Amino acid sequence: MSLVAQWYHFVVANLTIKQIPKELVDRIKAEAESNGRSMNKEIIDCLESAYTPRPSAEEAIARAKALWESIGSPDIGPYDPNWKNLGRP
């Protein structure tokens, strides 16, 4: 990686957002406090979550199946909607 590419990697942008409703600022502040971080970090975390690409349904299913297999759970077959009533009077 060139020196320019390395330098560019660490450049951060400043962004000013105007006319944020006070109620929203109060909610962000409360959430930041409950998470033990600054309002700036809370906003960055929210934006990263909102703009992180989500896996496709197929990818999510494949990950779930891989996790299920990795924990060695038995094959329970297809879902039976009557399971929720088992053991109930």
pLDDT of residue 87: 73
Q: How many other β-carbons are positioned within 10 Å of the β-carbon of residue 42?
A: 20
pLDDT in tens, 3-31: 555 555 667 788 899 999 999 999 999 99
Q: How many other β-carbons are positioned within 10 Å of the β-carbon of residue 10?
A: 6
Task: With cut-offs at 50, 70 and 90, classify the pLDDT of residue 89.
Answer: low
Q: Which residue has the tokens 């962000």?
A: 28
Task: With cut-offs at 50, 70 and 90, classify the pLDDT of residue 68.
Answer: confident
pLDDT of residue 9: 62
Contact indicator for 39, 32 with CB cutoff of 8 Å: yes
Maximum Cα interatomic distance, the chain, rounded to a whole number of Å = 71
pLDDT in tens, 40-65: 999 999 999 999 998 999 999 999 88
* Boundaries of every domain in the chain: 20-71
